[in-house]
Amino acid sequence: MSKYSILLSVTAILVLVGCVSVYEKANACGKTSCTYFVAVNGNDSWSGRLARPNFGRTDGPFATITRARDSIRQLKSAGALKTSVTVYLRGGTYYVTETISFTPDDSGTKECPVTYAAYRGEKPVLVGGKRITGFKQGEGNVVTATLPQVKDGSWFFRQLFVDGKRMIRARTPDYDTADPYRKGFFYVWRGASAFGQSVGCIHNPGDWMEYTIDVPADADYAFWMLYGANNKPFGTDDMGGRTVLIIDGGAPVSIINLPNTGSWNADKWSRCATVHLAKGKHTFRWQNVKGGGLNIGGYAFCDDPSWKPAKMEVPKPAEGKHVIAISAENFEKSHGKQLTLGGGEYGLPTAFRFKPGDIKPEWAQSTGAEIHIFQSEQCRAFKEIVSLAKVDMEQNMVTVSGKECVAKLGTGDRYFVENIPDALDSPGEWYLDRKTGELCLWPTKKLTAGNEVIAPVIGRMFELNGDVKTGKTVCHINFKGLQIRNTDYSPDDGCVGYQTGGDGVVFLGNATDCSVVDCSFNDIGKYAVCLKDGGSNRITGNSIANGAEGGIVLLGSSGNTVSDNHVYNCGWVYKHVGGVILEGPKTSDNLIAHNLIHDIPRYGISLKNPGSRNVVEYNELYNLSTETFDTGGIEVTQGNREFRSGSTIRYNIVRDVIGYSSNNGKEVRMSWAIYLDSFAGGYDVNNNITCRNSHGGVMLQGGKDNKVWNNILVDSEKTQVYFANFSDNTRGNVFEHNIVYFTDPEASLFMANNIHDGVMTTDNNVYWNCGTNKLTIMGAGSFVDWQKKGQDVHSIVADPLFVNHAAGDFRLKPESPAFKLGFKAIDTSKIGLCKRRLP
């Protein structure tokens, strides 16, 4: 090629580049739209009006979203927006170390919205952290990096990612990748109390337990009991006079003064009898004579009139006096076909006894050492993250502290110890020394310059904060097609105890008419999106995976649409979370539809004391409640006994809700597919399909005027449907035109507690138990007995004729008998994610 030809070619290229730049700049703010660009090779001193740097690198895209936001503010300062504004993010990785904030001044309008979007065909990735380099070889397989900002207290992180994979914070026992839910735990030896496990389910007349005691001196002894009782729902306010104490087979002594304590936790002491005991060995028997429930933690005999027990401990009596303490679990003989150990916990929230060898005293000296414990006292519903404060090796007692010390810790609770240097003993683990600023990592393979080690810096990527005082909201701001990853969580995120979370990577506080669409959230800390107050927002088409908490949470926000989102593998750290959570009485008129939610430690979708007219429809949910107990795939909790929500749960598929927990390593489960807990009332539950859940397809606890109709409930493990009538509050519930099918001949059809006139009506249902005629109703006898009470008069026991039960195809054959009773075929074609075509 000649020099002349080369010159012509270069000239042509320059002309072409110039033409493209001029074209893009000319169209950056036209009559119908205004466009800015952000790129990894951009510069915040440029105009942001070009999609790429010009040839001379004198102009081009911005480098940061913050700069683009500020340009829009400048644009608005000249007057109201006259066109829509779009900020396009070019492909590449952006390391964002400060939350990007928006106020009402950044708002768009209905006619002129502001949008932050991925450039067509490209993938902008927003990383909420820093890339860590400069690792040096440490001891063995461990590499180290010194982080001055950690040492000076300006930076701390709780997650670490290498090449897109979450590393495990150093813990013991080690995380078991093959079975992380059931293995890799210590178990509490016993609670901090002087007593062991309580004894429960001793409510039948004739139940008894017998003990041997060694009395140190002749005296009159006051008899004390450590107990819990909650018999009011069953018509008994005081168990006094219903049980007796028998010494050496003698005359029964009535046990008095056992009022209801408000729960079954054996944590209240009562002085309830006086007996004379001679020095020496005696047998004493506690016996139920009139029926009624008690959970008993222990007993004490004391000849000191001024002595009183102190919580779970046994204080010393006055000098010369004596006390004899007995743990209820230590009976030598007993009679009670339902007698159960562990019927209520009685430890302390701030201490427990560990098995010898499980915990070392020096761990308490490690800065930031934590214990992650799955408590059982409060329905096994949540995990606590508490600080390891003290280790007493003589008593095998560990003391813990922190705001998450909510539940009493008891025998068999599973736990692990995290963030101690001793536990850094396996590939994929890491430890951060807050004092020295040293990060220690055992990589899964040798690190090279090409490996990406990311530590989060921020929890929120975007925050939109309306002005509550002035009533101004942030409105008409949209995020589309962005990929967000590697953010952190905080103990202040609102996941303490029964709290389900209150923060998000994208936080919309008092925002209206905003949207998060087609974004991807991966390896994040907080919920992906949190809507607090405000309303009429749209969260659609997003992928949310591998979060430390849950997916999407709405707090006091109304009129929102949450649809077509894929939420999975979340709850890595906090467990009382959900794929989608709606909370608060102002949370009304929301649509939760077409979401695919799976592999979550607790809820798929949960409504916590919500408002009215919410609709949950066309969602596909499975493999839920993998680490918590007493739970549901779609769950509602309501404290108001009279409120009727007017909300609808329809056209959902809910399967494999596990409800897992453990007691000393022994698996226990409790879950329902659709769980109307507490006093949830006024729900219309129809056209749902549930399959393979622990305790049933539907649970109606204590609410009023719930209607459950035209559902298919298949193969739950224990029972198929629960009618609890909690606190005898239920009235007006209806269960009709449903199909209930199960294959386990030992499973029950219903649990029906205290069902009397006005509580509920069941009729026109089809029931089938694997071809047998055995339909047991716990609390009501046989199906014939149930019908004699006026229930299910027109229902039938017959095979509903599924197309293919074994393959999970629950469509009905044309000749199904269910159609004759008014059942309507459920169209499943619209359930789950929509097949959306992106522009």
Domain final residue pick, 340, 372, 402:
340
pLDDT value of position 346: 57
CA distance 814 to 804: 13
Which helix (DSSP H) or strand (DSSP E) does residue 485 occupy? strand 483-485
What whole-number distance in Å separates Cα of residue 572 and Cα of residue 547?
Answer: 6
Question: Is 192 exposed, middle or buried, given 0-12, 13-18 or 19+ CB atoms closer than 10 A?
Answer: buried
Look up residue 17 and give its two tokens.
Answer: 């580049």
HSE (side-chain half, CA atoms, 13 Å) at 51: 20
What pLDDT, in 10s, does the model give residues 293-306?
999 999 999 999 99
Is residue 512's pLDDT more than 60? yes
> What is the pLDDT, as a whole number, of residue 130?
97
pLDDT at 15: 38
Strand stretches in 303-435, DSSP E: 323-327, 333-335, 340-341, 351-353, 370-374, 383-392, 397-401, 414-418, 429-433
Return d(Cα 324, Cα 339) in angstroms, integer.
24
In a domain, 528, yes or no: no
Lowest-confidence region among 7-11, 344-348, 589-593: 7-11
User: Are 146 and 67 within one domain?
Assistant: no
Which pLDDT tens digit goes with each residue over 775-796? 999 988 999 999 999 999 999 9
pLDDT higher than 60, residue 5: no
How many Å apart are CA 125 and CA 484, to the nearest integer? 6
Rounded to the nearest 5 degrees, what angle is found at the Cα of 206, between the Cα atoms of 724 and 722? Answer: 10
Cβ(787)–Cβ(763) below 8 Å: no
Please choose, from the candidates 727, 718, 720, the residue with its C-alpha nearest in 3D space to the C-alpha of residue 681: 727
Is residue 204 domain-resident? yes
* pLDDT score recorded for residue 22: 35
Q: Between 347 and 286, whose confidence is greater? A: 286
Q: How confident is the model at residue 314 (pLDDT cuts 50, 70, 90)?
A: confident
Q: Are residues 696 and 784 in the same domain?
A: yes
Structure tokens at 235: 């018509």
Q: Stretch 178-193: mean pLDDT, rounded?
A: 92
Do 433 and 398 belong to one domain? no
Are 277 and 404 in the same domain? Answer: no
182: number of CA atoms within 13 Å, CB side? 10
688 contacts 711 by C-beta, under 8 angstroms: yes
Q: What is the pLDDT of residue 234?
A: 79
Domain assignment of residue 416, yes or no? yes
Whether residue 7 has pLDDT greater than 80:
no
- How far is 432 from 7, CA to CA, in rounded Å? 58
Predicted confidence at residue 469, as pLDDT, reads: 86
Residue 468 pLDDT more than 90? no
Q: What is the pLDDT of residue 838?
A: 38
Whether residues 326 and 393 fall in one domain: no
Residue 189 has pLDDT above 60, yes or no: yes
Per DSSP, 161 falls in state E
CA 678 – CA 639 distance, rounded (Å): 6
Predicted confidence at residue 835, as pLDDT, reads 66
The mean pLDDT of 547-559, rounded to a whole number, is 99
What pLDDT score does 28 carry? 59
Shared-domain flag, residues 166 and 300: no
Say if residue 417 is in the same domain as residue 307: no
553 found inside a domain: no
Same-domain check for residues 151 and 269 = no
**pLDDT score, position 29:** 62
Q: Examine residue 813 and state whether it is found in any structural domain, yes or no.
A: yes
pLDDT digits (tens, 9 = 90+) for 243-262: 999 999 999 999 999 999 98
145 forms beta bridges with: 439
User: Is the pTM for the entire model greater than 0.75?
Assistant: yes
pLDDT at res. 779: 87
* Mean pLDDT confidence for 316-326: 96
Lowest mean pLDDT among 59-73, 94-108, 304-318, 615-629: 304-318
Measured CA to CA, the distance from residue 230 to residue 237 in angstroms comes to 8
Q: Tell me the range of 34-38, 338-342, 772-776 where mean pLDDT is highest.
A: 34-38
Q: In the predicted model, is pLDDT for residue 601 greater than 50? A: yes
Coil, helix or strand at residue 137: strand
In this predicted structure, the answer to whether residue 675 has a pLDDT above a threshold of 50 is yes
| Domain residue limits at 57 | 3-93
Distance of CA 607 to CAs 263, 592, 639, Å?
24, 11, 12
DSSP string computed for 304-341: -TT---BTTB----STT--EEEEEGGG-SEEE-TT-EE
Q: Say whether 274 sits in a helix, a strand or coil.
A: strand
Residue 543 has pLDDT above 60, yes or no: yes
Q: Is the pLDDT of residue 382 over 90?
A: yes
Residue 345 has pLDDT above 70, yes or no: no
Domain boundary among 93, 120, 149: 93
Percentage of the chain surpassing pLDDT 70? 95
Residues in CB range of 49: below 8 A, 6 or more apart: 24, 25, 28, 29, 35, 36, 37, 59
Establish if 375 belongs to a structural domain: yes
**Whether the predicted pLDDT of 9 surpasses 70:** no
Q: How many domains is the chain partitioned into structurally?
A: 5
Distances (CA, A) of 342 to 317, 482, 663: 29, 50, 9
Highest mean pLDDT out of 329-333, 335-339, 426-430: 426-430
Q: Please tell me whether residues 755 and 642 are part of one structural domain.
A: yes
Residues 830 and 688 in one domain: yes
**pLDDT bucket at 344, cuts 50 / 70 / 90:** very low
Task: Summarize the confidence of residues 632-653 as an average pLDDT.
Answer: 98
Positive or negative, the CA dihedral 15, 21, 24, 25 is negative
Burial zone of 121 (CB within 10 Å; 0-12 exposed, 13-18 middle, 19+ buried): exposed
Q: What is the band of 27 on the pLDDT scale with cuts at 50, 70, 90?
A: very low
pLDDT of residue 194: 72
pLDDT at 343 over 60: no
CB 475 within 8 A of CB 111: no
Q: Is the pLDDT of residue 481 over 90?
A: yes
Per-residue tokens: 247: 């010494």
Domain contains 439:
yes
**What is the rounded distance in angstroms from the CA atom of residue 433 to the CA atom of residue 435?**
6
- Note whether 7 and 81 are same-domain residues: yes
Give yes or no for residue 11 having a pLDDT over 60.
no
Q: According to the model, what pLDDT value does residue 19 have? A: 39
CA dihedral 67, 71, 72, 74 (to 10 degrees): 140
In a domain, 808, yes or no: yes
**pLDDT > 60? residue 96:** yes
Q: 406, 435, 455: which is the final residue of a domain?
A: 455
Residues 554 and 534: their CA atoms lie apart, in Å, by 10
Residue 210 and residue 134 share a domain: no
Residue 652 vs residues 64, 101, 671, 674, 736: alpha-carbon distances, Å: 42, 37, 17, 10, 18
For residues 782 and 603, what is the distance between their CA atoms, to the nearest angstrom? 33
